[in-house]
Structure 1
Amino acid sequence: MRTLLTLLWYLFAGYSLLCLVLYVAQRQLIFFPVPAQLPPANPLILQQDHAQVWVSQQPRPGQQALLYFGGNAEDVSVSLHEFAAAFPTHAIYLMHYRGYGGSSGKPSEQALVADALALYDKLTSEHSDFTVIGRSLGTGVAVQLAARRPLQQLVLITPFDSLTAVARQQMPYIPVGWLLKDRFESHYFAADIRAATLLLLAQQDEIISAKRSEALYQAFTAGTATLIRYPGNHNSYLPASQIAAWLQSN
């Protein structure tokens, strides 16, 4: 009996230590800041609390603007010219999250959403017709922006309904509901979105299960969202020109 109790104690201590490590290091597991391969020569700079946020931009006069929010380890700078070519009538703005590609500060859900809202509000003096694209982690930012500001179009690439739900699937024996700070509960915001929304799901997505993306789709008001599946995995390259074509056909 003493041996069994000792073994149970060590198992409990080990499990508790694992939970503590995951809690302390969770943002290092969610966010993977990368430098900009093509640092913007003329960045739009947002002066935020405790951070200076850089935005790669291709300015263009007119009402139409495209805002892009990338994945957790994505360097958005390399996509500027491609988005500009695929959306020639739009001004292009690609946000470098805090800690990414020249931006200072540390990333968190609250900070990234605040930065996205600040970028949108700054641009309303120049544009009134906004298309927002989010990819993977960036869908959590894009959804909250779309729920709080009027958009013309919203595109979500490999989206999820809740980062908490994704973590539960990947770590079913860890109490992530108690530990997670950045939850990105997109399904709570979906019903408030009025913009025409396109959800793009990778058929072999090994990170975000189809169940999680479909749950987000179901959270939208009927008739608001369209779901398209495309071949590939979570990190498969998806040309901006193809996204533009899908938008035109839906």
Structure 2
Amino acid sequence: MAERRAGRLLLAAALVALLGYAAILLLMHARQRSLVYYPAHTRVAASATDFELRRDDVVLRGWQLNPGRTDALLYFGGNAERIEASREDFAAWFGTRTVYLVAYRGYGASDGEPEQDALLADALALYDDVRRRHPGGDIGVVGRSLGSGVAAWVASQRPVSRLTLVTPFDGLAQVARAHYPWLPVDLLLQERYPSAGFLHGYRGRVLVLRAGHDTVVPPASTDRLVAALPVPPQVVMFPDDGHNTLSGDPAYGRALADFMR
């Protein structure tokens, strides 16, 4: 009798644990975009911007620096980055280029809600708009963290001779797998940004900036991206910096400017 009762208790405990795990999976699947995108503290008034790109359903807003240059540069920021904070630095670092800092949908003063397919389509629309503005110029692309996935997509779909990837990953699923090894990430994740897959045929020049103390993007993820590139990239390591601090290193701006010059 006691053994039967103990067996029932073990079965009940296992069932509770299984139901709890299933509930966690459902919650993670439902809330995954809130774990990938952090637009709330990036919001600014539309009147604070000076550039607009009208899409079918939203208006994307941002800033244009160094207007009137022949060449251009597109910057795609991190998942919680206030891109306007870089305006002064970018204007100085890329003085020979007109720089476009345009917030993702849902970020800054841009309309809409962020999600992968929309962000990738917006990025191509931005490139095409900038190409019309700079018909004979070179367009360089810089992407940081989440933005490295967006930048990789643009480089795979449009002519980009120089691509800079800051703290990049081979794919968001691989990053999530490292942080949540107990979850079936491949089944749950919709926001994937498979940068290595995007760039499998890219033959342009690539600069990769890495942080020695990156606790967000595992080093192995960046290693796999570097190894997957058809043309070996230039890699600059910032050994004393973390994922969010390397941009404060004086060598960061020099590396970006030298590569795009």
TM-score under structure 1 length normalisation: 0.93
CA–CA separation in structure 1 for the residues paired with 2:122 and 2:250: 27
Range moving further from structure 2, 206-215 or 45-54: 45-54
**Secondary structure of the structure 1 residue equivalent to 2:126:** helix
- In structure 1, the partner of 2:95 is 88
Identical counterparts, % of pairs: 37
Q: In structure 2, which of residues 26, 48, 60 is the aligned counterpart of residue 20 of structure 1?
A: 26
**Secondary structure of the structure 2 residue equivalent to 1:85:** helix
**Secondary structure of the structure 1 residue equivalent to 2:208:** strand
Range moving further from structure 2, 26-35 or 230-239: 230-239
CA–CA separation in structure 2 for the residues paired with 1:29 and 1:221: 31
Q: 1:244 to 1:193 in 2, by over 3 A?
A: farther
CA–CA separation in structure 1 for the residues paired with 2:167 and 2:250: 17
How far is 1:62 from its partner?
A: 3.0
Matches within 5 A, 1:213-224: 213-223=222-232
The answer as to 2:194 corresponding to 1:185 is: yes
Range moving further from structure 2, 50-59 or 98-107: 50-59
CA–CA separation in structure 2 for the residues paired with 1:179 and 1:78: 34
Spell out structure 1 runs of 4+ moving beyond 6 A.
Answer: none
Q: 1:42 to 1:17 in 2, by over 3 A?
A: closer
Q: In structure 2, which of residues 225, 232, 235 is the aligned counterpart of residue 227 of structure 1?
A: 235
- In structure 2, the partner of 1:9 is 15
CA–CA separation in structure 1 for the residues paired with 2:249 and 2:201: 27
Q: 1:62 to 1:241 in 2, by over 3 A?
A: farther
CA contact (8 A) 1:38 1:77 kept: no
- In structure 1, the partner of 2:130 is 123
- In structure 2, the partner of 1:31 is 37
How far is 1:153 from its partner?
A: 1.1
CA–CA separation in structure 1 for the residues paired with 2:249 and 2:154: 21
CA–CA separation in structure 2 for the residues paired with 1:130 and 1:46: 17
CA–CA separation in structure 2 for the residues paired with 1:246 and 1:130: 18
How far is 1:237 from its partner?
A: 4.1
Q: 1:109 to 1:156 in 2, by over 3 A?
A: same
How far is 1:38 from its partner?
A: 8.3
**If each structure's helix is expressed as a fraction of its own residues, which one has the higher value?**
2
CA–CA separation in structure 1 for the residues paired with 2:43 and 2:249: 19
- In structure 1, the partner of 2:146 is 137
Letter in 2 for 1:205: D
CA–CA separation in structure 1 for the residues paired with 2:193 and 2:25: 20
Q: How many residues align?
A: 249
CA contact (8 A) 1:55 1:93 kept: yes
Matches within 5 A, 1:135-174: 135-174=144-183
Range moving further from structure 2, 58-67 or 99-108: 58-67
How far is 1:241 from its partner?
A: 6.8
CA contact (8 A) 1:87 1:244 kept: no
CA–CA separation in structure 1 for the residues paired with 2:249 and 2:241: 15
CA contact (8 A) 1:140 1:185 kept: yes
Q: 1:150 to 1:239 in 2, by over 3 A?
A: farther
Per-residue CA deviations over 1:74-127 (Å, capped at 9, x if unaligned) read 010111121001111110101201111111101011111111100110111222
**Secondary structure of the structure 2 residue equivalent to 1:150:** coil
CA contact (8 A) 1:56 1:94 kept: yes
TM-score under structure 2 length normalisation: 0.90
CA contact (8 A) 2:66 2:91 kept: no
* Structure 1 residue ranges without an equivalent (≥5): none
